[in-house]
C-alpha cells in the first residue's frame, strides 16, 4: 500500500470511523459486522481534507483515462464526489444521487440532465465502503442508461474480497484500501456469540 494510503488507513482506524470493539452493526442486507461509518468524518476536519486529497491523488495516478464526472452513491458519498471533483482541477464535474430504496440509489434530476446532455466518456462512481456493491451497481446502471459511455467504481475501503453484485453486473471497481472485515450471517455471527453489542438498523 502506498504511504499516503497507509497513513489514511491508520487515521481511519484511530479516529472513530470504525466501530469500537465492544459493538457491531446490522447492515441493510441483514448481515452483521463492524461498521465503517465515514459520515463520522466532519467536512471541516483535517481528516476529511486528507481523505479527499488521497482520493484525488489516487485518481490522478491510477486511472490512465481521467473521469469527466464523479458521482456519489447517495448520503455521505455525495459530498465526496463534489469535493474530489473540485480537487482534481481538470474540469471534472461532481454529481449526486439519492436513495430510492435502502439498497439502491439513482441520479437526481440535475445529474441526469448533465449525463443525458453531455454523454461523458467516463464517469467514476464514488463509494465510501464496498460490502457487496449493490448500491454502486444500481448507480452504474443508471449512469449508463442516462448516456455515459463508460463507468467504474472507486471505494475508499473494500471490506470484502469481492464485490459480487458489481462482478455479476460486469462493472469494474477499485479500492484505495482493500482489507477484509468479518461479515457474518445473523445466525452465525461471532460477535453476537461473544456478547458484543449489536446495533440494529
Environment class of 33 (CB within 10 Å of its CB; exposed 0-12, middle 13-18, buried 19+): buried
pLDDT at 44: 95
Render pLDDT for 81-105 as a digit per residue (tens, 0 to 9): 999 999 999 999 999 999 999 889 9
Could you tell me the three cell numbers for 36?
465503517
Residue-level pLDDT at 29: 84
Q: Minimal CA–CA distance to 68: which of 77, 55, 79, 59?
A: 59
When mean pLDDT is compared across 8-12, 26-30, 63-67, 168-172, the lowest value belongs to 26-30
Average pLDDT of every residue of the chain: 96
Count of C-beta atoms within a 10 Å radius of residue 13: 13
- In this predicted structure, the answer to whether residue 28 has a pLDDT above a threshold of 90 is no
**φ and ψ of 53, to 5 deg:** -60, -40
For residue 186, how many other CB atoms are within 10 A of its CB? 11
- pLDDT for res 43: 96
pLDDT at 192: 98
Distance CA 9, CA 14 (A): 9
Delineate the domains of the chain, giving CATH numbers in brackets. Answer: 3-199 (3.40.50.2020)
Q: If you average pLDDT over residues 150-170, what whole number do you get?
A: 97
**pLDDT, tens only, 128-144:** 999 999 999 999 999 99
Share of the chain above pLDDT 70, in %: 100
Phi first, then psi, for residue 183 (nearest 5°) are: -130, 125
Are the CB atoms for 157 and 127 separated by under 8 Å? no
- State the Cα–Cα distance between residues 99 and 3, nearest whole angstrom: 34
Amino acid at each position: 500500500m502506498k504511504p499516503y494510503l497507509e497513513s489514511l488507513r491508520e487515521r481511519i482506524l484511530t479516529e472513530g470511523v470504525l466501530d469500537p470493539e465492544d459493538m457491531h452493526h446490522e447492515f441493510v442486507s441483514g448481515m452483521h459486522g463492524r461498521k465503517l461509518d465515514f459520515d463520522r468524518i466532519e467536512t471541516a476536519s483535517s481528516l476529511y481534507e486528507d481523505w479527499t486529497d488521497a482520493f484525488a491523488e489516487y485518481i490522478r495516478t491510477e486511472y490512465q483515462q481521467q473521469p469527466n464526472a464523479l458521482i456519489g452513491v447517495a448520503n455521505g458519498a455525495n459530498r465526496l464526489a463534489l469535493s474530489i471533483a473540485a480537487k482534481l482541477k481538470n474540469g471534472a464535474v461532481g454529481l449526486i444521487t439519492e436513495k430510492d430504496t435502502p439498497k439502491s440509489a439513482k441520479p437526481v434530476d440535475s445529474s441526469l440532465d448533465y449525463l443525458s446532455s453531455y454523454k461523458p466518456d467516463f464517469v467514476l462512481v464514488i463509494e465510501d465502503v464496498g460490502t457487496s456493491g449493490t448500491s454502486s451497481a444500481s448507480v452504474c446502471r443508471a449512469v449508463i442508461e442516462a448516456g455515459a459511455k463508460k463507468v467504474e467504481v472507486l471505494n475508499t475501503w473494500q471490506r470484502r474480497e469481492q464485490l459480487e453484485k458489481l462482478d455479476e453486473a460486469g462493472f469494474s471497481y477499485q479500492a484505495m484500501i482493500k482489507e477484509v472485515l468479518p461479515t457474518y450471517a445473523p445466525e452465525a455471527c461471532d460477535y453476537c456469540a461473544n456478547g458484543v453489542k449489536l446495533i440494529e438498523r
